[in-house]
Amino acid sequence: MNAPAGTVGPATYVRPPLTRPEKFERMAFTFCRMGTVGLIAWVVTPPIFVLVVALAAIALYAKSITLGVSWSKCFLRRPTLIIGVWGAIAIADLVWIFVLGQRWPIG
């Protein structure tokens, strides 16, 4: 379907289908963004949200690495580096929740 010249819309955005590794990287990037938003809003959100999202991002980036992805849209770019950062955040969050007993934000 060819759109007339000068029109803009979904018909003008031709995208090739995503490969399996690209699909996992896209999902991982989504969880990376969600986790970043959770970190920024840590004061008003339960810390368990950050932990769940960090673990999901780690799992999805690990799967995308096994499928051959070596670059991500995340600002850290390298999936192995992203896994390391989210791993550190998950550990810090586990300590915050279970060792320090801070299950909810201090308010």
Residue 13 has a pLDDT of 63
Q: CA dihedral in degrees (99, 100, 103, 107; nearest 10)?
A: -170
> Torsions phi, psi of 62, nearest 5?
-65, -45
When mean pLDDT is compared over 19-23, 40-44, 86-90, the highest value belongs to 86-90
- What predicted TM-score, i.e. pTM, was given to this entire model? 0.62
Residue 7 has a pLDDT of 58
For the stretch 48-93, pLDDT in tens is: 888 888 999 999 999 989 988 888 887 888 999 999 999 999 999 8
Domain residue spans in the chain?
25-99
Residue 25 clears pLDDT 50, i.e. is over it: yes
CB 38, CB 96: distance < 8 Å: no
- Between residues 46 and 3, the one the model is more confident about: 46
Residue 74 tokens, joined: 């995340």
CB 70, CB 24: distance < 8 Å: no
